[in-house]
């Protein structure tokens, strides 16, 4: 099954555009979990169990696992195994390197971890992305306009009157022959998100930046979804997974996820 089909299928079943970011930091999870053999894994398993009927995807950020070396990698792999098969896993890795190296990253993420999708960086151009696109049923989300403040350092530069992020979006459309490309656009740039959706009508767009990074929900949903109110993947990490430090943390995460899913749906055109 193609990634986009898997995404739309679960998105309809769960009536959700919400993606929960599993940026799990050992130092921020409830203290009582630290006695477990693998506290990060225990935490993630509980979060997944309590939210899996509310989401369209999970997005673990690989940096949070690599920071703990090989043990972290094991925790990430087992976290991926804990996600129900019908829900896509997007590894937020922002990789990008020359061909023979990109193939190794693709192998790590799609084969070793068994994930469905990955975020990648466009700076090095097409040949750094194409090894990911050889996996027809996976998806590469290419950074287009990121949610951070310094996105402005380069991504808004005008080239012959056109901003760099727009040129990236247009290039990605030409790379999308197998229908397995997506874009990453921060919720913190709603006007630009609107422009990008106009250009990339059918691409899935992964949208970080609501919540802790203060992107607003209404324009994110209105501008980020396609004409059927789909194909936007709206991520929240810290606001959901760290909703409580007590032993009700999983239910508290569920409450926050449910609230956010419903608020997102308020603005969907369906």
Name the residues annotated as catalytic: 94
- Residue 159 touches its own copies, criterion: CB under 8 A: yes
Stretch that binds its own copies, among 43-51, 82-90, 124-132, 196-204 (CB under 8 A): 124-132
186: exposed, middle or buried (C-beta count within 10 Å: 0-12, 13-18, 19+)? buried
Q: Given the complex with its own copies, which of 4 and 75 has the nearer CB atom?
A: 75
Q: Which of 5, 154, 228, 269 binds its own copies (CB under 8 A)?
A: 154
- Residue 152 touches its own copies, criterion: CB under 8 A: yes
CB 88 within 8 A of CB 117: yes
Q: What distance in Å separates the CA atoms of residue 106 and residue 117, rounded to the nearest whole number?
A: 10
Stretch that binds its own copies, among 8-16, 36-44, 73-81, 244-252 (CB under 8 A): 73-81
Spatial CA neighbour of 140 closest among 176, 103, 174, 107: 176
- Residue 69 touches its own copies, criterion: CB under 8 A: yes
71: left (phi over 0), alpha (psi -120 to 50) or beta: alpha
Q: Which of 63, 218, 245, 246 binds its own copies (CB under 8 A)?
A: 63
Q: What distance in Å separates the CA atoms of residue 16 and residue 196, rounded to the nearest whole number?
A: 22
Which secondary-structure segment (H or E) carries 94?
strand 90-95
- Residue 176 touches its own copies, criterion: CB under 8 A: no
Q: Which residues bind its own copies (CB under 8 A)?
A: 23, 25, 61, 63-64, 66-74, 77, 92, 94-102, 104-105, 107-108, 111-113, 121-128, 143, 146-155, 157-159, 164, 167-168, 171, 213
């Amino acid at each position: 099954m193609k990634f986009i089909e898997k995404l739309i299928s679960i998105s309809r079943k769960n009536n959700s555009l919400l993606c929960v970011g599993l940026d799990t930091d050992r130092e921020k999870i409830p203290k009582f979990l630290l006695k477990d053999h693998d506290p990060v894994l225990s935490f993630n398993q509980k979060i997944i169990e309590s939210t899996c009927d509310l989401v369209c995807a999970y997005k673990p950020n690989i940096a949070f696992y690599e920071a703990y070396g090989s043990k972290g990698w094991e925790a990430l792999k087992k976290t991926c195994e804990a996600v129900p098969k019908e829900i896509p896993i997007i590894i937020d890795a922002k990789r990008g390197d020359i061909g023979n190296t990109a193939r190794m990253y693709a192998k790590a993420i799609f084969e070793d971890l068994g994930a469905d999708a990955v975020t990648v960086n466009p700076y090095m151009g097409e040949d750094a992305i194409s090894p990911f696109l050889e996996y027809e049923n996976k998806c590469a989300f290419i950074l287009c306009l990121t949610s951070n403040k310094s996105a402005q350092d380069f991504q808004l530069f005008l080239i012959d009157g056109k901003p760099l992020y727009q040129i990236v979006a247009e290039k990605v459309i030409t790379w999308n022959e197998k229908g397995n490309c997506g874009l990453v656009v921060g919720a913190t740039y709603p006007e630009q998100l609107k422009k990008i959706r106009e250009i990339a009508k059918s691409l899935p767009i992964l949208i970080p930046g609501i919540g802790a990074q203060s992107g607003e929900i209404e324009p994110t949903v209105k501008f980020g979804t396609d004409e059927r109110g789909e194909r936007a993947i709206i991520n929240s990490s810290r606001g959901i997974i760290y909703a409580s430090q007590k032993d009700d943390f999983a239910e508290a995460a569920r409450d926050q996820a449910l609230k956010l899913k419903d608020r997102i749906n308020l603005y969907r055109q369906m």
